[in-house]
Amino acid sequence: MTARLFPPNRSFQNFGRSLLFAAVAFVVGVSSSFADDAASPTQAEQLVEVERLEKAELWNDALQLAETIYETTPTDDATRRLLRDKFDVLRQKVAPNRDPAKAGVWKVRAFVVRSLDFAWQDGDATRRAQYVYDDEEIERIRRGMAGFAAFVEKFSDGWLRIEWTFEVVEKTATEMANVDGRYWAGPVGILPLLPEIPVNSTDTIMAFVKTGGTAPADVKNDAIPLLLFGGAIGEWAPVTRGATYISFNWGTGAASHEPDGEPMLHEWLHSLQWALEDRQGYPRNLGGNPDGGRFIGEERDPEAADPCYRRDPEKEKSWIRLYEHILRCHNTRNMLREAASRDKKVKI
């Protein structure tokens, strides 16, 4: 589940930037603006130029122009599909970034809340569940965080890095958010347990709370009616301190058929989508939705499904290729470099 806390604030990308440029141009008296607009290449002409550069094997120039069209001009679904196909081919022909200084940085603070002691009402009955993370489970989460960071660097071709910290909080969670009788480890109950997080110091707060699995031998638990296993919300001022918030409400945040880090990558992609749309101002759904996966031949609402990717269940055991597709084909290198929830101009 991804809860969007704020309504859309852009109708098409760079609208605000375009208005700013127009205002500045008017003030300084750029009298030739209409002539310049008339002389500028049309989108169709730019697409023809992409083809020319590609045939000349000028891979980086072709990719750069295709990305510029995608980022800075209004595009319909057919044009976006064409450009994503170009990204898929050209990103494989252009060398990845090897210089960390040129990459964007997304900061994540990950916290494991050691134990849970949660009671809730079920009609007239009071239910209770108690769980404690053991060291092996915590190590699995740590491996997951490392795997998640490695996936982002690999799938972004080095243009975005996850800078993450990991901390076990030796406290007990007793509160979970109630949504129509189902529960999840929301920020109101979890963030007070964590160390102080300065406003604008991180892009994502990631919390792990054990709500099932093995329990102490002397404890008989009731099953918590969970709303979700993993959830992501956008920045919720002032609660989440300028960051997006992700919680994992089961064990190690891992499944047997998934590589270490895949669930973290899935939920983080919601944070990336939120930031690109509500922070950086790109159009809705330009950057891709990790909930949009569908199998070959599967019928799904076209508004919800990824327009390009189809999973082959005979060859793919998980959705990791969808997430690679999102980072490589739905997001340009510049989008990845600038993506952030925090304001990078503000120094903490």
Please report the pLDDT score of residue 8 as a whole number. 28
Q: Which residue has the higher pLDDT, 302 or 311?
A: 311
Report residue 264 as tokens.
Answer: 């973290």
Could you tell me the pLDDT band of residue 301, with boundaries at 50, 70 and 90? confident
Distance, CA of 254 to CA of 262 (rounded, Å): 8
46: exposed, middle or buried (Cβ count in 10 Å: 0-12, 13-18, 19+): middle
pLDDT band of 14, cuts 50, 70, 90: very low
The model's pTM: 0.87
Q: Is the pLDDT at 11 greater than 80, yes or no?
A: no
| Burial environment of residue 150 by CB neighbours within 10 A (0 to 12, 13 to 18, 19 or more) | middle
Q: How far apart are CA 166 and CA 109, in angstroms?
A: 6
Would the pLDDT of 161 be above 90?
yes
pLDDT for res 39: 53
pLDDT mean over 188-216 = 95
Q: Summarize pLDDT for 206-251 with one digit per residue, the tens.
A: 999 999 988 888 889 999 999 999 999 999 999 999 999 999 997 7
Q: Classify the C-alpha dihedral 229-234-239-242 as positive or negative.
A: positive
How many angstroms separate the CA atoms of 113 and 171, rounded?
6
Contact 342, 281 (CB under 8 A): no
What's the mean pLDDT when you consider all of the chain?
Answer: 87
Q: What is the pLDDT of residues 70-95, one digit of tens each?
A: 999 999 999 999 999 999 999 999 99
